[in-house]
Amino acid sequence: MVSSERTMLVSMARRLKMASKRDVRSIKHRQYAGSFCAEYLSGRQRAGKGRNIPAKTLIRFGITIQHSDGEIAAARLISDLEHTPGRTAIVGLCSGSHNISHDDFASLHRLDRYAIRPEKSFLRDFQPCIRDSISSYFQHEFGIGFPINPLKLDYLRNTRSRSIKDRKFKSYSALCVYYQNAHIDLWHFFFSDLFLYINKLLNIRSSWSLEDLEEACSICRYCGFDVFFAQTVLLRALSGDEIGREFCEGHLNEMVLTAGFRNLTIDVYWSALNGEVLNFESLDHSISDNPLEWILDILLYLYSAGDPADLLARLPVAYEHDTSVIYFVDWSRFRQWIEQSSRLLGPNLIFLSTVLTDELILQRFKFLFEDYWIGGATADLESYALYFRSQSYANTLRRAERSRFSDFLLSLVALPKQARRRTFTYLFRPTTIERLASILTPPITHRLTIEEEKKDEYIALSAQMAILNFAQARRIVSSDFIDQKREDIRTFMRNLRYADFKKRGMIRLNLYDIERDLERFFKAEGADYIGLLNHFGEVKPEMREAFADYVSEQVAYRICHKSKQAFDYILSNWLRHGWLYRPIENTVLEFTSKNPGFFKDNRIFLANLEQTVIAFNADALTIRRNTLFYRELKSNIREWLGELSSTRVVSNSLPLEDLARLAIDGLTRMLVDAQDAWKTHVRTEVLSEAARNVSRSVQQSQSIQYQQLLTGLARCVDETQKWIAVNARTGEGGKDFLFRALTKFEVENIAVGDVGRLDINFEVYSENKSTRMPKYDVKIPGQYLDVIVRLVDNTVQNAFRRSGMGQRTSFNFVLVVGREQLRLEIKNRFKTGVSTMRAGLEKLQASISRAASLSEEDLSRASRGEGGSGAAKIIYEFRQAFESGWTIAVDEKSLDSKWFSVIATLPISQASLIAPRS
> Cβ(725)–Cβ(671) under 8 Å?
yes
pLDDT of residue 420: 92
Q: Residue 715, Cβ neighbours under 10 Å: how many?
A: 12
Q: Position 20: which residue type?
A: S
16 has pLDDT over 50: no
93 has pLDDT over 70: no
**Average confidence (pLDDT) over 713-721:** 89
Specify the range with the lowest mean pLDDT, choosing from 3-17, 67-81, 804-818.
3-17
Q: What confidence tier does 149 reach under pLDDT thresholds 50, 70, 90?
A: confident
Q: Which is nearest to 811 in space by CA: 902, 916, 875, 904?
A: 902
pTM (two decimals): 0.60
Residue ranges of E strands in 433-509: 507-508
Length of the chain (residues): 918
In the chain, residues under CATH classification 3.30.565.10 are: 737-914
**Average confidence (pLDDT) over 835-862:** 81
Return the sign of the alpha-carbon dihedral for residues 852, 854, 859, 861. Answer: negative
CA distance 574 to 592: 28
| Cα dihedral 856/857/858/861 (nearest 10) | 120
pLDDT of residue 469: 76
34 has pLDDT over 60: no
Specify the range with the lowest mean pLDDT, choosing from 337-341, 373-377, 487-491.
373-377
Specify the range with the lowest mean pLDDT, choosing from 264-268, 362-366, 411-415, 556-560.
362-366
* 178-201 residue pLDDT tens: 888 887 667 667 765 688 889 899
* 688-705 residue pLDDT tens: 988 888 766 555 555 788
Q: Which is nearest to 911 in space by CA: 729, 737, 700?
A: 737
CA distance 221 to 206: 21
Q: What confidence tier does 119 reach under pLDDT thresholds 50, 70, 90?
A: very low
Q: Would you call 913 exposed, middle or buried from its count of C-beta atoms within 10 A (0-12, 13-18, 19+)? A: middle
Percent of the chain residues past pLDDT 70, beyond the cut: 67
pLDDT of residue 312: 95
CA distance 686 to 688: 5
Percent of the chain residues past pLDDT 90, beyond the cut: 23
Indicate left, alpha or beta for 889 from its phi (over 0: left) and psi (-120 to 50: alpha): beta
pLDDT of residue 728: 58
714 has pLDDT over 80: yes
**Average confidence (pLDDT) over 444-464:** 54
Number of H helices, E strands in the chain: 43, 10
CA distance 529 to 511: 23
pLDDT of residue 531: 52
Range of 114-123, 560-569, 858-867 with top mean pLDDT? 560-569
> Cβ(256)–Cβ(265) under 8 Å?
yes
822-829 β-sheet, strand order: 759-765, 810-817, 822-829, 899-906, 887-891
674 has pLDDT over 90: yes
719 has pLDDT over 90: no
CA distance 419 to 476: 10
How does the average pLDDT of the chain come out, rounded?
74
* 626-637 residue pLDDT tens: 899 999 999 999
335 has pLDDT over 60: yes
Q: What confidence tier does 328 reach under pLDDT thresholds 50, 70, 90?
A: very high
CA distance 578 to 590: 18
**Average confidence (pLDDT) over 54-80:** 40
768 has pLDDT over 80: no
What does the DSSP assignment read for 116-143?
HS--HHHHHHTHHHHHHHHHHHHHHHHS
CA distance 150 to 156: 10
Of the two residues 617 and 495, the one the predictor is more confident about is: 617
Question: What 3-state class would DSSP assign to 64?
Answer: coil
**Average confidence (pLDDT) over 255-263:** 93
Q: What confidence tier does 790 reach under pLDDT thresholds 50, 70, 90?
A: confident
Paired strand residues for 727: 508
What does the DSSP assignment read for 528-560?
HHHHHHTTGGGS-HHHHHHHHHHHHHHHHHIII
Q: Would you call 378 exposed, middle or buried from its count of C-beta atoms within 10 A (0-12, 13-18, 19+)? A: buried
pLDDT of residue 136: 76
pLDDT of residue 533: 55
**Average confidence (pLDDT) over 596-615:** 83
pLDDT of residue 390: 66
**Average confidence (pLDDT) over 826-851:** 86
pLDDT of residue 526: 52
Q: What confidence tier does 320 reach under pLDDT thresholds 50, 70, 90?
A: very high
**Average confidence (pLDDT) over 39-43:** 35
Of the two residues 812 and 14, the one the predictor is more confident about is: 812
Q: What confidence tier does 737 reach under pLDDT thresholds 50, 70, 90?
A: confident
pLDDT of residue 431: 60
pLDDT of residue 133: 67
Alpha helices by DSSP H, listed for 375-429, are 376-395, 404-412, 417-427
Q: Which is nearest to 594 in space by CA: 704, 714, 718?
A: 704
Q: Position 272: which residue type?
A: A
26 has pLDDT over 80: no
- Strand-strand pairing, 726-727 and 507-508: parallel
Q: What confidence tier does 259 reach under pLDDT thresholds 50, 70, 90?
A: very high
* 396-406 residue pLDDT tens: 444 444 456 67
Please write down the long-range contacts of 569-572, taking CB distance under 8 Å and 24 or more positions apart: 570/507, 570/508, 570/509, 571/507, 571/621, 571/622, 571/623
pLDDT of residue 69: 40
CATH number (3.50.50.60, 3.55.50.30, 3.30.1310.10, 3.30.565.10) of 737-914 reads 3.30.565.10
- Residues whose CB is less than 8 angstroms from the CB of residue 663 and which lie 6 or more positions away in sequence, other chains included: 514, 559, 567, 633, 636
Q: What confidence tier does 438 reach under pLDDT thresholds 50, 70, 90?
A: low
Of the two residues 647 and 762, the one the predictor is more confident about is: 762
When computed from its CA atoms, the radius of gyration of the chain, rounded to whole angstroms, is 33
Return the sign of the alpha-carbon dihedral for residues 463, 469, 474, 475. Answer: positive
Q: Exposure pattern of 39-69 as b/e (b: 16+ CB <10 Å)? A: bbbbbbeeeeeeebbbbbbbbbbbbbbbbbe
pLDDT of residue 241: 93
Q: Please tell me the number of Cα atoms within 13 Å of 699 on its side-chain side.
A: 9
